[in-house]
Amino acid sequence: MIIMTKWDKLLIIFIIAASIIGIKVTANMATNEESMYLVIQLDGKEYKKLIIDSNTKYTTIPIKSDHGYNEVKIEGKKVWMENSDCRDKICEKLGIIEKPNETLVCIPHRLSVKLKTNNSDVDIVSY
């Protein structure tokens, strides 16, 4: 009887462990699907690449180049351009991007900010 109980306990522990692992794997997969790459390009070259998801805290990325100054703001999966000293301010008027393949551009500063999904290849297109 004692041996049987031990085996029963082991079996229960095994089942619990397996289900926890199963839940964890599922949770990780869900998180991966939700996270995105933010790709910032300057002069057609990759300037910065970072992963963002809905838990990303409010962040400011200052971008200073020969062309001028921009600030890219991130909060969760929302990305927008602020405090640009470009002449047209179109980038600031573009508002918020939050979906894969959406892009912000500042043409006078030769700057682009693009959202990519985790599983899609990050291909660098030069402007």
Residue 41 makes contact with Zn ion by CB under 5 A: no
Give the whole-angstrom CA distance, residue 75 versus residue 57.
5
Give the whole-angstrom CA distance, residue 91 versus residue 118.
25
Residue 91 makes contact with Zn ion by CB under 5 A: yes
Nearest CB to Zn ion, comparing residues 67 and 78? 67
Is 39 in contact with 49 (CB distance < 8 Å)? Answer: yes
Residue 112 makes contact with Zn ion by CB under 5 A: no
Residue 84 makes contact with Zn ion by CB under 5 A: yes
The minimum distance between CB 93 and Zn ion, in angstroms, equals 9
- The tokens for 52 are 């963002």
Residues that bind Zn ion (CB under 5 A): 84, 86, 91, 106
